[in-house]
Structure 1
Amino acid sequence: MVFPGRFSTGCKLCRQRKIKCDENRPSCRRCHIYGQPCPGYADQFHFRFDKTASKQENPPPRQQCRGKSKASRQPQSLQQAAANSDQNAVQTVCNMRPPAIMPPLEASYDDISLCYFVRRFVTPDENDRLPGHLSFLPSLYNHDGHGLLELATLSVAQMAAYNQFGSNQFRLQSYQNYGRAVRVLRRTIETEDEATDDRVLAAVLLLCMFKDISEEGWGDSCEHTSGLYYLLEKRGVEQFCTNWGFELFLLALLKLQVHSFLHQDNRYSDPGGLVTLLGQLDPIMRAMSLMTKTMWLRQSLLKCNKDSNGDHRPRGNVPQSVNQRRPVEADQSILQKCFEALAEFVEWDGEAEQYWKSTFEGRSMPAALGQLAAGSAYYDAKTACIIILVRTARMILLLSILEYHDSVRISYRETGTWRVGDQAAWANWIPVLKQEIRLAIDDMLYCVPFAMGDLGPDGSPVSVPQDGAAALVVFQPVRLVTYCAYATPEQRERCRDLLSRMKSTIGVRSAVSWEDQATSNTSAPLRPGTQSLVRAMALLSSSGTATPVQEDSPG
């Protein structure tokens, strides 16, 4: 990304000569003194992608099949304006190191904040179906406009600049633009005139991002959850026909799934049933479908725990055996679906490998659980982010099963009756599930340096400017590991270091490690495959009360 903006308000020739300009209009006197015609002034601020850093200099625009496409009706975009800007004024931002102190404010606060924000938090578009965080922004942003998207972009850009440079003026303007953007968003949704525009959904995602990088106490974007859900439902299937509809949908869905996990609220996990529908057609969407299913299964297991700890005394003339059998049968059904979902994760690994090989040229392919960390393959940033998200969903499902098992053990101590499944089968499979959690974490931690751009194809350390783009995608999965009771101390410590970096050097202030809530458990390294998981389903679905056996040590 390059910034051909104005860090000086002088004429073009004085800027090139790096001398002070007296800025007389229409031409400066200094050019006249040097016997040169004054080329005039250019105060426009635009972004464009640096062609020397991009594999594709002029990627063809994606075909749009949506009749109401807003791109054709938008004013001059950042990319279009950049093509008309003066090439002599270009300053490459990709190669700039963030200064330790605030640079001279010869340019406006808006210009400096936008320059820093796009350089660090916007992933260049590589014209494939792998989503990159905020890669839609340069095409949708209108420099000459002051609409919803522009206000939302300025608010988050100025907060990012405040985190980096520490000027209170950035902070003040950031909150002002955030308030203006929220007011415009409310009017837009109420009138419904432009509610399905890509720019509206992009603006809401930026407002959520504002919550992630703003000061402590602002780090929960749940107030935008219902708005995201409403917009995704209203946009329907048509949104996948726009230039950036697929990426916008995936990023919004990730926000909804994070909300579902953190708040135990499954109402917003599948807007309009689109995830379930498209999960049958596209492996990336199938991964999102598995994440959605995981959230639903987790909520179901939590409900089973709540019901089993409630009052199951017989009511009326209903025999006690019937009252006891109903929750047991429900628990067995949910557990069956949980292990079926684990088998689906195993199948996805093989399916995704073939899909990547045939669809994404030059990109590394996902591998089976535990094989990523055991190997030495290079992963591009986008693929690494997707693997981290899929492994996180798998870890959440495994954690949910283990949490349910803990409630069963507590009930067994109180009643002397093993509530569901075969107790000996549970004793055999609990170490397996714990080990799978550690393998999932190993894979996640292996992919984080690639997602953040810390490692190159040869495995050597590198530095890319867009580390903030990946940080906003993976910081919640990394934070989850820090309070996972079954992670090793080394895994938790490494995640705490990553979160500290995301907060202190990138400015993702909500990347704050939670306190560890349990000690780690060292289990034998076992690794089941699909057939083993199917066998586990059969064992755990066995009903009846087993004879008491010695319990495994608490994890």
Structure 2
Amino acid sequence: MVYGGKPSTGCHLCRKRKIKCDEKHPGCRNCATYGQPCPGYRSDGIFRNETNKVQQLVKKTSSSRPSGKRSSSHELSARSGHQQSPLSLYRISDSTWEEKAICYFFDQYTICDTTGGVGHLGFVPSLYAACRDQNAINPASSSLRLAVDATALMALSNRVKVPGILMQARNRFGLALQRLQDALDQPVEAVKDETFATLVILSLFEDISGDRLGLTSSHTAGFEALTKLRGESQLGHARGLDMFKFAYVHMQVEFLLLRGKSTLDADWVVEWLNSADPLQGLMILASKTAQLLAEPWSASASLESIGVTQLATWIESCRALDAELVEWSQGLPDIWLPLETRSYTGEDVLTYREMIIAIIWAHFRAIRILVYLTMVDLFRVLSSIVNSPGIHREASQYERDGLRVSLDLISDTCRSVPFCFGEIDLLGNPIPPSAEGTTRVRAFWVYSMLWPLWHLVSCGLAPPEQTQMIRGMMARTGSELGIKLAIMLARYDGQGAMPSIPEMYSFEESVGLPVM
């Protein structure tokens, strides 16, 4: 027996399926996802039967040596790497594309709790495994199983060209919608976590596949309806709170960036969320922002007829809200603060201790810019209807200050992009690409950055070089990670119809992905 080199040390089941194993103890995450007991790991050394090769090598070496000279046992041992504890080679077989898709999706889009207990849909793998292994036939469970299968296959179909995967994804998406409708028609099924999770997963499907009709999501109304139906009880346990966070951010992003109006009771949100938690505190401020800005936005066509008193009231409310946003940023614990460093390219950049912190800061900056832009509009209207030098000076001064602060916020987000998109680490050092040649960043992190970045390039304040950099980064990483929404937003300026995206098969060969 001879030493066969350092092999993969993943668990036996992951190696059988040919998927990446996190090698955690006592069991890996993939096995937990599949609801199977982890079969354990092999030792670092692996041996295979090379007796015949060694014998041939010895004969060849002996025949080439002068007579009377023999290889020492030490020389043979050094040459063969011989060990005393032989293990047979563990033979692995391939896994199905469906299994690969599920593991890829869970690895890229579900995040366990990180800094401050912030994660993203970390409960979905176990919930999916329970629905699958119990062979549940109720509408809520079956709709979740089909939704996860559809979204996983769609995510993989954007990465590799495998015949039939896209069709399977579309087929299961249609079945998931049917089962979701069945669940919504039954009051008991409608309030289940599986039903809400199905809607969450289907919203991801919409963005991964590029199926949005314009900027509006087809699932926002569903999120509002289910959030109201589930009520306060959904915030009483970790799974419900996790889903609520995802849905609420989804809704608020759309309301704020598209200037819509939420029908949720903002006071209810403020009452039940924990303002001491950084993420929940920002969610509260986002809710206040949407509620406050909805009034002037709805009257934007006739602001001149609103009246001086109402305009002044809105301006003061915006100032107070901006002060709350500043207070939020100044009250964060040290671990949440951006780190100023210099990257390996010599550029001044911002890095963060966790990726989720960088994303939350990006949303914070987008909200502040929205508030500033609204105040500038209100000041302009006020100065146009009030012939007062004092009002004119104040409006001009605030417009200058607002532009300066907004440009600083845009600059900070742009300085964060190399870290957020996996180009540099915490210290500004380069992160080498993966074995496939792609960036080492999870798809969910890129997905979460899309709307704040799109707001920066569509608000009209970012300089051309920053706009070009952001659009290029969104398009490139969107292609690498198979997120069609990223490419669509990179090409969209907010006017007219969203651009269509061709099938994303042009890059899988260049990055070394398997093609069938």
Determine if the TM-score, normalized by the shorter chain, exceeds 0.5. Answer: yes
Query: In the alignment, which residue of structure 1 is the partner of 2:324?
Result: 344
In the superposition, relative to structure 1, how do residues 216 and 225 fare at CA in structure 2: closer, same or farther (>3 Å)?
closer
For 2:235 and 2:108, the matched residues in 1 are separated by 27
For 1:129 and 1:379, the matched residues in 2 are separated by 11
Q: CA deviation at 1:342?
A: 0.6
Give, as a single letter, the amino acid of the residue that structure 2 aligns with 1:398.
Y
Bigger Cα displacement from structure 2, 257-266 vs 379-388: 257-266
Query: In the alignment, which residue of structure 2 is the partner of 1:172?
Result: 167
1:435 to 404, 413, 423: 404
For 1:192 and 1:47, the matched residues in 2 are separated by 40
Q: CA deviation at 1:185?
A: 1.1
1:115 to 89, 92, 103: 103
Give, as a single letter, the amino acid of the residue that structure 2 aligns with 1:298.
L
Alignment of 1:81 onto 2:35: yes
Q: Deviations over 1:136-169 (max 9, x none)?
A: 2222221424622211111111111111113351
In the superposition, relative to structure 1, how do residues 165 and 305 fare at CA in structure 2: closer, same or farther (>3 Å)?
same
TM-score by structure 1 length? 0.66
- Contact 2:311–2:378 (CA under 8 A) maintained in structure 1: no
- Contact 2:351–2:416 (CA under 8 A) maintained in structure 1: no
Q: CA deviation at 1:179?
A: 1.0
In the superposition, relative to structure 1, how do residues 516 and 267 fare at CA in structure 2: closer, same or farther (>3 Å)?
closer
- Contact 2:154–2:169 (CA under 8 A) maintained in structure 1: yes
State the SS of the aligned residue for 1:193.
helix
Query: In the alignment, which residue of structure 2 is the partner of 1:241?
Result: 236
Query: In the alignment, which residue of structure 1 is the partner of 2:464?
Result: 489
1:386 to 328, 343, 360: 360
- Contact 1:328–1:420 (CA under 8 A) maintained in structure 2: no
Alignment of 1:448 onto 2:417: yes
- Contact 1:379–1:450 (CA under 8 A) maintained in structure 2: no
For 1:460 and 1:270, the matched residues in 2 are separated by 45
Q: CA deviation at 1:182?
A: 1.1
1:468 to 424, 443, 455: 443
Q: Deviations over 1:198-255 (max 9, x none)?
A: 3222221110011111135557563211221222223333223323222221111011
Query: In the alignment, which residue of structure 1 is the partner of 2:178?
Result: 183
**After superposition, where does 1:491-510 map in structure 2 within 5 Å?**
491-510=466-485
1:422 to 391, 404, 424: 391
Q: CA deviation at 1:127?
A: 6.1
Q: CA deviation at 1:192?
A: 1.9
For 2:451 and 2:290, the matched residues in 1 are separated by 15
**After superposition, where does 1:46-445 map in structure 2 within 5 Å?**
50-51=22-23, 78-79=32-33, 81-85=35-39, 87=41, 107-123=95-111, 125-126=112-113, 129-142=116-129, 143-144=132-133, 145=135, 147-215=142-210, 217=212, 222-268=217-263, 270=265, 273-278=268-273, 280-309=275-304, 327-353=307-333, 357=334, 364-366=335-337, 378-407=352-381, 412=384, 417-418=386-387, 422-445=391-414
In the superposition, relative to structure 1, how do residues 293 and 176 fare at CA in structure 2: closer, same or farther (>3 Å)?
same
Query: In the alignment, which residue of structure 1 is the partner of 2:79?
Result: none
- Contact 1:302–1:404 (CA under 8 A) maintained in structure 2: no
Give, as a single letter, the amino acid of the residue that structure 2 aligns with 1:434.
L
For 1:381 and 1:451, the matched residues in 2 are separated by 6
- Contact 1:189–1:195 (CA under 8 A) maintained in structure 2: yes
Q: Deviations over 1:345-374 (max 9, x none)?
A: 111112223xxx5xxxxxx323699xxx97
For 2:11 and 2:265, the matched residues in 1 are separated by 39
Q: CA deviation at 1:289?
A: 1.2
Q: Deviations over 1:271-318 (max 9, x none)?
A: 782245425454432211111222223222223432335xx5xxxxxx
In the superposition, relative to structure 1, how do residues 234 and 340 fare at CA in structure 2: closer, same or farther (>3 Å)?
same
Cα RMSD after superposing both structures: 3.7
Query: In the alignment, which residue of structure 2 is the partner of 1:12?
Result: none
For 2:11 and 2:42, the matched residues in 1 are separated by 12
How many percent identity over aligned positions?
22
Q: CA deviation at 1:448?
A: 3.5
Q: CA deviation at 1:405?
A: 4.2
In the superposition, relative to structure 1, how do residues 374 and 6 fare at CA in structure 2: closer, same or farther (>3 Å)?
closer
In the superposition, relative to structure 1, how do residues 341 and 122 fare at CA in structure 2: closer, same or farther (>3 Å)?
same
In the superposition, relative to structure 1, how do residues 116 and 209 fare at CA in structure 2: closer, same or farther (>3 Å)?
same
- Contact 1:130–1:382 (CA under 8 A) maintained in structure 2: no
| Count of residue correspondences | 416
In the superposition, relative to structure 1, how do residues 465 and 140 fare at CA in structure 2: closer, same or farther (>3 Å)?
farther
In the superposition, relative to structure 1, how do residues 302 and 193 fare at CA in structure 2: closer, same or farther (>3 Å)?
same
State the SS of the aligned residue for 1:141.
helix
- Contact 1:194–1:200 (CA under 8 A) maintained in structure 2: yes
Q: Deviations over 1:68-118 (max 9, x none)?
A: xxxxxxxx99447243446469xxxxxxxxxxxxxxx95333112112222
For 1:332 and 1:176, the matched residues in 2 are separated by 54
- Contact 2:210–2:484 (CA under 8 A) maintained in structure 1: yes
For 1:270 and 1:164, the matched residues in 2 are separated by 41
Give, as a single letter, the amino acid of the residue that structure 1 aligns with 2:208.
I
For 1:249 and 1:230, the matched residues in 2 are separated by 12
Give, as a single letter, the amino acid of the residue that structure 2 aligns with 1:510.
L
Give, as a single letter, the amino acid of the residue that structure 1 aligns with 2:101.
S
In the superposition, relative to structure 1, how do residues 340 and 384 fare at CA in structure 2: closer, same or farther (>3 Å)?
same
Give, as a single letter, the amino acid of the residue that structure 1 aligns with 2:424.
L
State the SS of the aligned residue for 2:238.
coil
Query: In the alignment, which residue of structure 2 is the partner of 1:315?
Result: none
- Contact 1:214–1:510 (CA under 8 A) maintained in structure 2: yes
Which structure has the bigger radius of gyration?
2
In the superposition, relative to structure 1, how do residues 296 and 502 fare at CA in structure 2: closer, same or farther (>3 Å)?
farther
Q: CA deviation at 1:177?
A: 0.9
Query: In the alignment, which residue of structure 2 is the partner of 1:95?
Result: none
For 1:134 and 1:3, the matched residues in 2 are separated by 24
Query: In the alignment, which residue of structure 2 is the partner of 1:513?
Result: 490
Q: CA deviation at 1:508?
A: 1.5
Q: CA deviation at 1:466?
A: 4.7
For 1:494 and 1:165, the matched residues in 2 are separated by 27
Q: Which runs of 5+ in 2 are unaligned?
A: 1-9, 44-92, 137-141, 341-346, 434-438, 496-516
State the SS of the aligned residue for 1:164.
coil
For 2:416 and 2:109, the matched residues in 1 are separated by 19
For 2:491 and 2:271, the matched residues in 1 are separated by 32
Q: CA deviation at 1:492?
A: 1.0
In the superposition, relative to structure 1, how do residues 327 and 509 fare at CA in structure 2: closer, same or farther (>3 Å)?
same
